[in-house]
Homo-oligomer: A and B are copies of this chain.
Amino acid sequence: MEKIVEYQSLIDHLQARVSFSDEELNQFVSDFKITKIKKRQFIVQPDFIAKYRSYVVKGALRAYVVSDDGQEHTIAFAIEDWWISDYNSYIYQKPATMFVVALEDAVILQIDFKAETKLKKANPKFETFFRITAERTAASFQRRIIMNLTSSAEERFESFNAEFPLVVKRVPQYTLASYLGMTTEFLSKIRNKKVKNKN
């Protein structure tokens, strides 16, 4: 099996979910193109169809929507070994409502919808991989819905920080606040209250 360094983490990602032969792994990753993007560069924009599903090799990205009143709401973050896209746009191949932008210079692996469809038809194991991925995505979205319904702003921050400390350290606070459904001012207050209480 050829080892192009950028593909290694995606290969590990696949193998952790479904048992593939070397040949299958090669077939899978050969449909992904390596894309390097600069901080602040967009890979998805509203009104354009999200052509790609993107796997992050290096860097950090953010998906967000802009509401009628002009406010940004972060829908997802992605760092190393995570996937990102406008989910509704990609799976239905309809115009996006989100922006997906790099928070840092990044290296991503992208597969387009047609190639993905072809892969799934070619080998049921690829179908299985995407089924597992979709199920886990749905499960994690549902956990987020439950968290949003049941917890206060402070609890939501504490919970996210406990689960994803590396993301918290890496992304701008205003993007995190909008992900957690609060203002950047309120998140600042929560965090600084905490610091004072420690003394």
Contacts and interface: CB of A to CB of B under 8 A. Distances in A.
Contact of A146 (B65, B120, B139, B142): B65
Interface in A123-141: 124, 127-128, 130-131, 134-139, 141
A58 interface: no
A67 B156 CA distance: 14
A136 to B, nearest CB: 8
A135 B138 CA distance: 7
A88 interface: yes
Contacts of A150: 65, 67, 71, 73
Nearest to A76: B142
Given A120-B128, A127-B128, A141 B145 contact: yes
A168 interface: no
A97 B145 CA distance: 13
Contacts of A65: 146, 149-150
A29 interface: no
A146 B91 contact: no
Interface in A74-119: 75, 87-88, 91-92, 97
Contact of A143 (B88, B127, B128): B88
A33 interface: no
Contacts of A67: 150-151
Contacts of A149: 65, 73, 75, 178, 181
Given A88-B143, A127-B128, 17 more contacts: A65-B146, A67-B151, A73-B149, A73-B150, A87-B139, A91-B135, A92-B139, A124-B124, A131-B134, A134-B134, A134-B138, A138-B141, A141-B141, A144-B145, A145-B145, A145-B148, A149-B178
Interface of A: 65, 67, 71, 73, 75, 87-88, 91-92, 97, 120, 124, 127-128, 130-131, 134-139, 141-146, 148-151, 178, 181
